[in-house]
Amino acid sequence: MFVMSGLHLPVMKDEVVRFLDPKSGEDFVDCTVGLGGHALAVLEWTRPSGRVLGLDVDPVILERLKEKVEGTEYEERLILACGNFANLGEIVNRFAFGRVSGVLFDLGLSSWHLEESGRGFSFLRNEPLDMRYSSENPLTAEFIVNFWSLRDIEGILRVYGQERFARRIAEEIVRSRPLRTTVDLVMAVERATPSWYHRGRIHFATKTFQALRIAVNNELENLERALPQALDVLDEGGRLIVISFHSLEDHIVKNFLREKAKEGVVKILTKKPVRPSEKEVKENPRARSARLRAALKL
């Protein structure tokens, strides 16, 4: 039996299984396989022959997952692919997966990225300002803070971070150049914002870090490109499940599903986004902002 480390609990696992409704022999695509929490739960239900194509843009996390499943009963049925879900259709074709019974997105970064990758995703660590899921991505957070214009930095802080002090933070970032580490950035945000902001419910650098991560990894555009391809690879009666962690992602998913429901292509299974239980949030604070939406392809 595969044992997940306490740090890497998959978010809303029971709800994912309920909405995907996996059955023996069916095939699924997990577009954000990470350390495999959801994929392995699905494989439990699809014994003996059902497969999961597990996609991740980060080759390092895929390597970790590969090591974890080696020698387990899941090894043969979990097919791992390194790539961006923005190219989902092409990747699914390359692996000759045909039409699948479900496609899952669990968006954003994993707790492994925050805690173990060393790439500057966390404002609680002192690491280089990288924030890339893949080293093939030419854009880093360090490049943005040191070379983008004040106006462009303010723009991403305002739009992707929904940061009320976007202007002041952008000004302080430009004034503080060069910034090399997460601590340099946290200190710039601290200098730019009033002291009451430092005592808030969420850490004062949360939104700045979120904005940079979204910009570095082109997260919203990738999602917009992936969703229509996810519907294409689904079989009739197949399910699309998306877990998002902030309102911009959730808006994209909501609008996409509404449009497709109007066209008669899908039936929406979640009128409102499904939220994690209080118990789950207590056990896994990362689940706090999760919202799950699901639809059935007609």
Shortest approach of ligand SAM to residue 133 CB, angstroms? 4
Least CB distance to ligand SAM at residue 262 (A)? 27
Query: Quick check: 161 and 189 in contact, CB under 8 A?
Result: no
133 versus 209: smaller Cβ distance to ligand SAM = 133
CA distances to 2, 3, 70, 78, 85 from 75, rounded to whole Å, are: 11, 14, 6, 6, 22
* Minimal distance, residue 217 CB to ligand SAM, in Å: 6
Which residue, 85 or 160, has its beta carbon nearer to ligand SAM? 85
| Residue indicated by tokens 């949360």 | 206
Residues 6+ apart with CB under 8 A from 245: 107, 108, 289, 290, 291
CA–CA separation, 228 vs 32, rounded Å?
Answer: 16
Chain residues 17-46 in contact with ligand SAM, contact rule CB under 6 A = 31-32, 34-38
Angle at 110 between CA 107 and CA 114, to 5 degrees: 130
Interacting residue with ligand SAM among 20, 42, 57, 290 (CB under 6 A): 57
Task: Write down the least CB distance from residue 88 to ligand SAM, Å.
Answer: 8
Per-residue contact string for residues 74-113; x = within reach of ligand SAM by CB under 6 A? ----------xxx-------------------x-xxx---
Question: Is 56 among the residues that bind ligand SAM (CB under 6 A)?
Answer: yes
* Distance of closest approach, residue 160 Cβ to ligand SAM, in angstroms: 14
Contacting ligand SAM within 229-268 (CB under 6 A): none
- Provide the mask over 132-161, with x wherever binding to ligand SAM is found by CB under 6 A and - wherever it is not: -x----------------------------
Nearest to 74 by CA among 56, 97, 48: 48
Strand ranges inside 133-265, DSSP E: 234-244
DSSP states along 64-106? HHHHHHTTSTTTTTEEEEES-GGGHHHHHHHTT--SEEEEEEE
Rounded CA separation 149/179 (Å): 14
Indicate the residue among 101 and 110 with the shorter CB distance to ligand SAM.
110
Smallest gap from Cβ 99 to ligand SAM, in A, equals: 21
Which parts of 150-209 interact with ligand SAM (CB under 6 A)?
A: none
State whether residue 53 is helix, strand or coil: strand
Host H or E run for residue 214: helix 206-217
The tokens describing 51, both together, are 């497969």
Q: How far apart are CA 10 and CA 106, in angstroms?
A: 9
User: Could you tell me the smallest distance in angstroms from the CB atom of residue 45 to ligand SAM?
Assistant: 15
Q: Which amino acid is at 45?
A: W
Using the minimum distance from each CB to ligand SAM, give the nearer residue, 31 or 188.
Answer: 31
What does the binding site for ligand SAM look like in residue numbers (CB under 6 A)?
8, 10, 31-32, 34-38, 55-58, 61, 84-86, 106, 108-110, 133, 217, 222
